[in-house]
Amino acid sequence: MFMLDWYAHNSRLRTAHPVEKALFALLCLGPALYFSREAVSLAIILLHSIIFLFYLQIPLRFYVKLMLMPLAFLLPGCLAVALELVPAQAGAMMLILPLGSLTLGISPGSFSLAVNILLRSLAALSALYFLALTTPFAQLGWLLRKAKIPAGAVELALLTYRFIFVLADTAHSIYTSQSTRLGYSCRRNTLKSLGLLASGLLIKSLERSRLMHASLVSRCYEGEFPSLETRYSFSLRNWLLIGGVTTALLALSRMPAFF
Amino acid sequence: MSNNIIETKGIVFTYADGTRALSDLTLTLPAGKRIAVLGANGSGKTTFFLCLNGILRPQKGEIFFAGEQVRYDKKSLRRLRSRLGIIFQDPEVQLFAANVQQEVAFGPLNLGLAEKEVRRRVRQALALTGMERLAEKATHMLSYGQKKQVAIASILAMEPDVLVADEPTAWLDQLHAGKVMELFHSISKQGTTVIISTHDTDLAFSWAEEIILLEEGKLLGKGPPEAVFLEKELLTATGLRRPLLLEIYFLLKKKGCVTNEAPAPRTLEALAYLIKE
């Protein structure tokens, strides 16, 4: 997860206007979810894989890991959609497991539905990954503010983002200090040490928030986190690309379904 | 009319757990000078600083800032903190924003300044600390030295009259420590009172114009470095060593290797100049 953040900050598209990036992601996400056409989903997956691997130079291994991660719950879900329990006399089925008067199997209809869902999910995921890999969190905060999301919620999101790293760092140093003292050398120690790590983390977080409050108050904090407007510029090329891709996806949606 | 920017009279501060951090502390700090507050660990330096900007309220005694007594209502505290900025020892605790620019802009924005002015101050503060190219960088991607510079920049951007830094060179390598002290030196030249706390006597000796010695929450000694550091018993009482340069100077003086009439040197070059052929 930290790699995602690193890629976002060092991305080629880091300085591009956040609205352009968000729009591109949304205009891929929308068609992916709305049109049930495999052609659209495949096109999106292919387009994004080209963008990630060749334009953003994401290493192949990382890309594969990113796409495989959600499969852990996507595959069982699709399998559940594919499997049907029908009366034994039903029409053509692919896998058959007779269960008395019923049959458990995969019909052409359920199979195509499962594949459709899988592709749609992967396409939507690709669109989201695009945003995650090109947009540092501060820009996402800017977008949320522009979208009139309440300031309090955006501030909370930004603070949470910052503190994830602080928490991870602290947890890591507690873990290191414990393991150098054999804290994780056997199962019993591991359980005990993990418990101590969790409680230590809580205590440190409370103490730290106290100190942070002192530093905020020293800078005249009055309950709000004002932010400096960052200026971005639009790029004609990006808008043309967005328009082109959207048109292509709409055209593909007119194609007949694969199954 | 005394030119003391800060004055304390008999302040006593005890923490909730019973630790008495400050006992009857009475002192004055001259305006526009480079002041080093020295003391062993636990002598009350940090507590003292936190009392100066109103974060801690002493149970007894009074604090005066620029001739006015420090009051603890919201408006007075806000005014005080806009003129006295504290850089805490651990930058990790201070940095909260998503990126460097937002962090540095926080102070000026809280002061209610116009956007143009805020941008100017942020740009200037980042330039002073050498962080201009890192303005858009996420705070968690900085090295420790860079985090420290950002913490300093975020206070500089508020353009305070008094800059207080709690152990500014702690955990820094010599290069970064030198840069920080140079920065403080140039800021002090522009009229800002700079107060640092340290237990590095060599650092204090070479940099400060006024030394404050604290021991167990009490004022043990005060004065220019040449005067304070000459009193060996005073230093040993605080658990501090005399500056190495001074020790060498006295050794050489005893052996007759240095000219007698000159005042004690504050830098290596000054010492070298005094050594007889």
What are the structural domains, with CATH classification, of chain B?
4-96+161-241 (3.40.50.300), 243-277 (no CATH)
Q: Is residue A67 part of a domain?
A: yes
Give tens-digit pLDDT for A18-57: 999 999 999 999 988 888 888 899 999 999 999 999 999 9
Give tens-digit pLDDT for A219-241: 999 888 888 888 888 999 999 99
Q: Report H helices in B95-240.
A: 100-110, 115-128, 144-156, 174-189, 201-207, 225-228, 232-238
Q: In 3D, which of B103, B138, B99 has the Cα closest to residue B122?
A: B103
Q: Is residue A57 part of a domain?
A: yes
Mean pLDDT of chain A: 89
Give the domain range for residue A162. 150-217
Contact assessment for residue B83 and residue A219, using Cβ atoms and an 8 Å cutoff:
no
Contact assessment for residue B243 and residue B220, using Cβ atoms and an 8 Å cutoff:
no
Mutate to test the interface with B, among A144, A164, A215, A222 (most CBs of B within 10 A): A215
Closest residue on chain B to A15 (Cα) = B136
* Backbone Cα Rg of chain A: 24
SS3 call for B159: coil
Is the CB of residue B119 less than 8 Å away from at least one CB of chain A? yes
Task: Give me the residues of B, 146-185, that contact A with CB < 8 A.
Answer: 154-155, 158
**pLDDT recorded at residue B194:** 97
Q: Is residue A174 part of a domain?
A: yes
Give tens-digit pLDDT for B125-161: 999 999 999 998 999 899 999 999 999 999 999 999 9
Do both A88 and A160 map to the same domain? no
> What is the pLDDT confidence band of residue B239, given thresholds at 50, 70 and 90?
confident
Q: Is residue A142 part of a domain?
A: no
SS3 call for B258: strand
Do both A204 and A159 map to the same domain? yes
**pLDDT recorded at residue A95:** 65
CB contact under 8 A, B140 and A162: yes
Do both A6 and A129 map to the same domain? yes
Question: Residue B14, CB half-sphere, CA atoms under 13 Å: how many?
Answer: 7
Give tens-digit pLDDT for B46-70: 999 999 999 999 999 999 999 999 9
Written as six digits, the tokens of B182 are 């140079």
Do both A44 and A99 map to the same domain? yes
Q: From residue A113, give the alpha-carbon distance in Å to each of A96, A99, A109, B102.
A: 18, 23, 6, 48
Give exposure, B76-96, as e/b (b: 16+ Cβ within 10 Å): ebbebbbebbbbbbbbbbbbb
CB contact under 8 A, A166 and B81: no
Nearest to B82 among A169, A220, A230 (CB): A220
ipTM exceeding the 0.90 mark: no
Q: Is residue A35 part of a domain?
A: yes
Do both A111 and A159 map to the same domain? no
Average pLDDT in the B217-239 region? 86
Do both A77 and A106 map to the same domain? yes
**pLDDT recorded at residue B1:** 41
Q: In 3D, which of A143, A142, A128, A137 has the Cα closest to residue A160?
A: A137
Written as six digits, the tokens of A92 are 């053509």
Q: How many domains does chain A have?
A: 2
Do both A108 and A13 map to the same domain? yes
Written as six digits, the tokens of A17 are 């206007």
Do both A131 and A100 map to the same domain? yes
Mutate to test the interface with B, among A204, A228, A231 (most CBs of B within 10 A): A228
Average pLDDT in the B2-18 region? 90
Q: Is residue A145 part of a domain?
A: no
Do both A190 and A114 map to the same domain? no
Written as six digits, the tokens of B273 are 């100049």
**pLDDT recorded at residue A258:** 66
A148: DSSP letter? T
Is the CB of residue A217 less than 8 Å away from at least one CB of chain B? yes
Do both A24 and A128 map to the same domain? yes
Do both A40 and A114 map to the same domain? yes
Q: Is residue A229 part of a domain?
A: no
Average pLDDT in the B58-84 region? 93
Do both A95 and A48 map to the same domain? yes
Q: Is residue A197 part of a domain?
A: yes
Written as six digits, the tokens of B34 are 């480079």
